[in-house]
Structure 1
Amino acid sequence: MQIQVPFALPNLPDEYGINQPADELIDGINLRSFPFTVTDLPKAAVTVAFSLIDHDTIPVVGFSWIHWLGANLPVTAGQVVVSDNASQT
């Protein structure tokens, strides 16, 4: 299994971090989730479940930030595409 993001790691682009205008933050936190694609799945895979937990946020917010959890995402053409801000929908 491979996970691909449309930006250079290790840093998130500003639109997914805390460097947003104050009116786009909730209690100082950006809730916009970043997009990613999961590929190289087993041929028999029908759905995928995942968790994205960011332990680097401990110094910022005081705990590991759960970006989002997903379950029963359908595998289509051998991959799962999670779009920009999918955690809000």
Structure 2
Amino acid sequence: MKKSRNFILKSDSIINGCIKNEFGKHGDSWIDNVPSKSIGLKWENAPEGTESFLIVMQDYDAVPVAGFSWIHWIAIVPKNYTELKENASREDKNIIQGINSWASKLVGLPKERATFYGGPTPPDKDHVYEVKIYALDKVPNLKNGFYLNEAYKEIKGHVLGEGEVEGIYKA
């Protein structure tokens, strides 16, 4: 399968390399003590044959603190989308969302309460957050509340292209 090299992910919620305060612990949108206003994302040049997209937002700087990379958001997005507006995690009922790391044993939110965007809350220093988008040649057979590993199993061999954007969130 030939992968597109022109598939690009951008975010107006990331200014000069930094995620705006409103999308994490310095913001004012919270659910169960977790910042919940999702960043906006835009993409262009999706590969021909794209049937859906997978969004994954992770914090690899969390490994020394939590013992694993922290999953902030996982979402399956319909093929006709070219963006997710700010707060889409709470407002857009057409996306299918996976479980974030607030369901981990470190925090313990019930799975159904951790199926949304959980914004940055770096406890020790500024962290870099990676947001990836995968253009897929199928719609993954997943429902709200899926795990990241389930998504990766579903998309194996079905990725037409990838895009990525990073942003720092200030501690």
Could you tell me the percent identity over the aligned residues?
A: 20
Q: Which amino acid in the other structure matches residue 3 of structure 1? A: L
- What corresponds to 1:34 in structure 2? 39
Segments of structure 2 that go 5 or more residues without pairing to the other structure are: 1-6, 92-171
Q: What is the SS of the residue equivalent to 2:19?
A: coil
Output the TM-score relative to the length of structure 1.
Answer: 0.69
Structure 1 vs Structure 2 CA RMSD: 2.7
Q: How many residue pairs are counted as aligned between the two chains?
A: 83
The answer as to 2:19 corresponding to 1:17 is: no
- CA-to-aligned-CA distance 1:1-50 (integer Å, 9 cap, x gap): 110101324211010121135x84643x4121100012111122132122
Deviation at 1:74, TM superposition (A): 2.1
Output the TM-score relative to the length of structure 2.
Answer: 0.40
Structure 1 residues 33 and 25, CA gap change in structure 2 (3 angstroms): same
Hey, what's the Cα distance between the residues in 1 that align with 2:77 and 2:11?
20
Deviation at 1:64, TM superposition (A): 3.0
**Alignment of structure 1 residues 61-76 onto 2, 5 Å:** 62=66, 63-76=68-81
Q: Which has the larger radius of gyration?
A: 2
Deviation at 1:73, TM superposition (A): 1.9
